[in-house]
Amino acid sequence: MVREHGELDVVVANTLLGVSLETTRRDLRALESQGLIRRSYGRVFPVESSSFETSLAVRNQINPEEKNRIAAATIARLGEAQTIFIDEGYTTELIAQRLPDDRRLTIVTASLPIASMLAPRPNIQVIMLPGRVRGNTLAVADLWAADGLRRLNIDLAIVGANGVTVEQGMTTPDPAVAAVKEAAIQRSNRRIFIGAHHKFGTSTFVTFAQLADFELIITGQELGATLTNRIVATGANLLRV
């Protein structure tokens, strides 16, 4: 149920299962100990792995208010960037929607939805990376996309991840996706990481960056004090909005 819906309220899960609340909580603790879910503020989120990744349709239902705050904060920090890499994902779609109309921009992306959204805008030139289209995220991956980035010089990269920890850094389940993100980071002068709070404290299959690779890490104010303090202690510039 958690994987199907992207998140689940503990009380709702208890009602759906028809068991005691303590039984539900005990089972959730067991699933969390196996690294399959993560609990936060009475809700449960799936942990992504090499064998499971949430779809774009599911992602747009998870913490939408938080993601809108993150998108707004990111737009406020574009600076003088004229060429911008925008990563795949729902939060990055929200960022793309908010790009200003009063300046000319070149947007590089692996995301079909973002390219389709921005292509009609007269002030924006869109460069769509080549590659294999992944059905669950509608984004391209593989070496074609990574190689396409290696010839570019990008002012700013806006990058997300499936998991973030102090130890493993930024991670994603698919090595082909990791290669695209890593290439974008390497070819960009500035780098901002964006991610809702439930992405923090979990890691997936492939590391593509470390906390120190980004000038700014933007997440929601829902991120707990313990994780916040651990990230700040590394010297990372963390903004909770």
**Per-residue model confidence as pLDDT tens digits over 203-240:** 889 999 999 999 999 999 999 999 999 999 999 999 99
Q: Which tokens go with 228?
A: 């916040």
- Report the percentage of the chain scoring pLDDT > 90: 70
pLDDT tens digits, one per residue of 160-184: 999 999 999 999 999 999 999 999 9
pLDDT over threshold 80, residue 6: no
pLDDT tens digits, one per residue of 132-141: 999 888 999 9
The band of 75, judged by pLDDT with boundaries at 50, 70 and 90, is: very high
pLDDT at 60: 62
Contacts 24+ apart (CB under 8 A), 150-154: 150/183, 150/186, 150/187, 152/83, 152/108, 152/127, 152/187, 153/83, 153/187, 153/189, 154/83, 154/84, 154/85, 154/108, 154/184, 154/187, 154/188, 154/189
pLDDT over threshold 90, residue 150: yes
pLDDT tens digits, one per residue of 44-55: 888 776 566 666
pLDDT at 13: 84
Domains of the chain from N-terminus onward: 2-47 (1.10.10.10), 57-240 (3.40.50.1360)
pLDDT over threshold 80, residue 100: yes
Q: How far apart are CA 50 and CA 40, in angstroms?
A: 23
pLDDT at 193: 98
C-beta separation of 77 from 155 below 8 A? no
Considering only 27-31, 67-71, 75-79, which range has the smallest mean pLDDT?
Answer: 27-31
**Bridge partner list, 112:** none
The band of 3, judged by pLDDT with boundaries at 50, 70 and 90, is: confident
Segment 100-125 shows an average pLDDT of: 97
Instruction: Pick 219 or 14 by higher pLDDT.
Output: 219
Q: How far apart are CA 155 and CA 52, in angstroms?
A: 33
AA identity, residue 101: D
pLDDT at 57: 62
